[in-house]
Amino acid sequence: MDRPHTTVVLAVSADGKIADAQRSPARFGSRVDKRHLEAQIAQADGVLLGAGTLRAYGTTLKVTSPDLLEQREQQGKPPQPVQIVCSHSAQIDPQLPFFCQAVPRWLLTTASGAARWHDRPGFDEVLTPMRLDPKRPDPGIDWIVAFQHLAAANLLRLAILGGGKLVASLLSVDLIDELQLTICPLLLGGANAPTPVAGKGFLADVAPHLELLSVQSRGQEVFLHYRLLRSENNV
């Protein structure tokens, strides 16, 4: 594999929002949804999350269920997947509880972002796969190179936990394989409330297409599992 397999895992309101208009931490999923999220994380070698998502929650979700920990052990995996924070600026508060959690932590950033964490504890590894652009003083993250590095490090399955900017960036370079979406029974509204895919968006005739793999209804929530259709398979 030249890149990891990726799955976006998000809880979404019935009107398609991943948080309210104030971008509060999205805690509207049920205990069933949290168990579902933990199960997806337990299958992953690495977890990608944007800095905004980390700032909102302050922590990441660890694998704590005994059966999921045993599953990882049987698969020859460490107890926790690598938590990979993605940020161009790397302006992240080192006092966040995240930095006290017993998880491996990596930072995926630019050269200037890496400079913020030079000789500072917090991340076990800092990656700077940069996209060259002579018009920009600080090139952006080259996601293709980044994913090749992660695959070389044997991180072959990634769970993408948001936010919308990160998902949009990965979609734009065709690096999303699957989506696990939990539809929760509430309406958040708000023109500025974030959605699963941020950025400029896609015109309908060139938008990524999905194949529905499964639908499950549990209590008041609906769990949708999609696969991205590659362009050659779109109809």
pLDDT at 231: 60
Residues in the chain predicted with pLDDT less than 50, given as ranges, are: 233-235
At the top level of CATH, which class does the domain 5-233 belong to?
A: alpha beta
Whole-model pTM?
Answer: 0.93
- β-pairing, 105-108 with 209-218? unpaired
pLDDT at 57: 95
Whether 122 and 99 have beta carbons less than 8 Å apart is answered as yes
In the chain, DSSP assigns E strands to 5-13, 46-50, 82-86, 105-108, 125-127, 130-131, 140-141, 157-160, 178-184, 209-218, 221-229
Phi (first) and psi of residue 62, to 5 degrees: -85, 160
pLDDT at 234: 43
Listed in sequence order, the residues at least 6 apart from 25 whose beta carbon sits closer than 8 Å to its beta carbon are: 19, 56, 57
pLDDT at 235: 37
